[in-house]
Amino acid sequence: EALDQAVGDVGDAFLSRHVAEQEQEFVAADPGDDVLAARHRLQALADLLTIRQHVGALQGLTIGWVGDFSNVARSLSLGAVMLGVSVQVACPPGYGPRDEDIEHVMTRARHGARITVTNRPQEAVAGAQVVTDGAAYVEEGKKVRVMER
């Protein structure tokens, strides 16, 4: 009820990074409202908007990612290449993208953007205008020791 009062008639959909799927009915202000628990997709969008705010135009930039190829990394890579931003990913052995992940990202790349994958962080950050890491993102419900990898 508090959420209903807070958002009222603001819009037709409620997007949340933290709403669990089973809580969607509870969060919906009205039975017809859509609640999208898009977690990693929203984080990727927020990251890209933050980069745009601080760096300016996105097309032609390179993002370096160091860490596991998590859902956030996958969504960030996909969103980035669609906007013409290349992504250089360094993942520990066994924690990188699958071949189908790379293919999926590359089929949507625009303006010459690409994704490259290595297990050497120095290669992922070389020439990147923006560097981020997977240590800040822990998959929901999993306690992992990312820094040890």
Residues whose CB falls within 8 Å of the CB of residue 134, separated by 6 or more in sequence, listed in order? 65, 66, 67, 68, 69, 70, 72, 73, 146
Residue 5 predicted with pLDDT over 80:
no
pTM of the predicted protein model:
0.71
Per this entry, what is the length of the chain? 149
**CA 126-104-125 angle, 5° bins:** 10
- pLDDT, tens only, 26-69: 444 454 544 444 667 888 888 999 999 999 999 999 999 999 99
